[in-house]
A and B are shown apart, each in its own frame.
Chain A
């Protein structure tokens, strides 16, 4: 699991590479919780490098989204692969998350 963070115009973009399974989601949780703790509530998750996600990762996404919304922010998902999109659909997350084809589109949605 590799996570890199980039910040621009008050929006933090996390590029995630690897499997967001039970094990991988530990790293993702640490990175996102740290950002939220720092008061960053406008977050973008670039999922182009993620081809697998399980309920452990989904719980983190739901938790961060809930916290960000309570603080007037959001957790936007960009470049979601077909496989991950299917998982989001099965669990009904596509109704709660804002999905974008590219990181740029997600960024402009924050403006």
Chain B
């Protein structure tokens, strides 16, 4: 669903044209065919006129709100009023066989609405003062090529499309140009300018210039300077017959351009908070002077311009958010590409992995490496923090660790080398916990070291019990001269090692109790006969049901290693 615009006006006959211009602006933005745009314009005028005449009869004043959206290839226009609801069944149905004189009576508007629109829904409320909404739907398959961009917006992988949309679709200038153009036409002025207030410089600058002497350079005025600057400062409308008799008028513009300014109508633009955000200036009414009716029309249009500016700004913000989401998605892809797609295959070993960042990107990672002597190096790590900062530091940590692993060192020495390197080169206050192991896949000898990481659980098949691979060491990136001990164990047939990050054991249930290592150890014991991926599946299922109410707050990563050479 693409939001195209919203207009709130007092339900008065004088405002029906404002409604038409509002819709025309949208039709032009969407490049609708003339026929479709005519149909919706007529249906909307009829529906609006019904609200003015029947929802608020006898000169009652109330608001109406029109919202236009694009859903797939349908334009949805909803009109809401808070007056007397219309019951279509009470309206004498329009009969094409009636003589012409009786057609003057009602029903004609409804006939147009029902004939021209593809779908019409009415939602009325009996309680006075409650909203009544009429929804008009028109299929607009005939969008011109290139204008189907709105529906492409939903495709998150269409990054290019989104940025194109940012530059083309949100062309506020174009939208305002259409509105000012209409205004100059309808009021029958020779030219028009829209100025916006630049608060940071206390200036007014021109956004749209329409006149008969061609394009002008951008005009900048101090607030208070000239007639437009004065209106921007005071907020008082100015309608003058002869500009040369007004002391505020700056004759230099005319002298530069050779144009002769006579009458002027200058109206302030206010946003919802009633702050002045700009002015609309019309010059030289054709064949006379600007009337009070012109003033009314321009003021109503000015309100719409202010809404358009506001809407365009909100729309631009939404697009920015989408672009950011798109970037995060890309970051996630990049991060995923750092991680091994499938664990390495070794005769007699069954290895599986699981990685799930809490947000779109995370600070957990794991890696495998075949060392020069043929042994299998593996590591699991957790960077402090979450989200993008953690992801960036993870990429850095992984590069350093992967490099250190190729140096033919013991696990403790690898950690020491990586730690020194990280302290020397990174000024961030982040740190990384790592468990690193080197496995001789022939003998089952497993050498390991830890930098403040949670101790892996090892299930010993001979003893039918679990212990932890605990070894001292502080997280990387904290102390310059940290020492990391290396230990060794032997992984025998049907033994299982499970490496994990703290997101798993720190998941909490509704009583804020942690999942904990012991639950993991006992689950491992129960699943000891199963293969590595089945064990991962059980663990994830168990922790998810444990934390079903509270959820898991951190990235979760698991590595399972099972010796299966019996």
Contacts and interface: CB of A to CB of B under 8 A. Distances in A.
A54 interface: yes
Given A62-B103, A92-B96, A93-B100, A55 B109 contact: yes
Contacts of B103: 58-59, 62, 91-92
B41 A23 contact: no
B126 interface: no
A90 interface: yes
B14 interface: yes
B108 A55 contact: yes
Contacts of A58: 103, 108
Given A55-B108, A63-B104, A90-B115, A22 B45 contact: yes
Nearest to B111: A91
A100 interface: no
Nearest to A96: B100
A69 to B, nearest CB: 9
B38 interface: yes
B382 to A, nearest CB: 67
Contact of A21 (B17, B96, B101, B109): B17
A65 B35 CA distance: 28
Contacts of A105: none
A63 B99 CA distance: 12
A16 interface: no
Contact of A22 (B41, B49, B94): B49
Nearest to A53: B42
Interface in A13-71: 19, 21-23, 52, 54-56, 58-59, 62-63, 65-66
Interface string B87-125: 000000010100011011000110110011000000000
Return the 7 tightest CB-CB contacts between A and B, nearest first. Answer: A55-B108, A92-B96, A66-B101, A96-B100, A55-B109, A22-B16, A59-B104
Given A54-B42, A54-B49, A55-B49, 7 more contacts: A22-B16, A22-B49, A23-B13, A52-B41, A54-B109, A59-B108, A83-B34
9 contacts: A19-B20, A21-B20, A52-B41, A54-B109, A54-B112, A58-B103, A58-B108, A91-B94, A91-B111
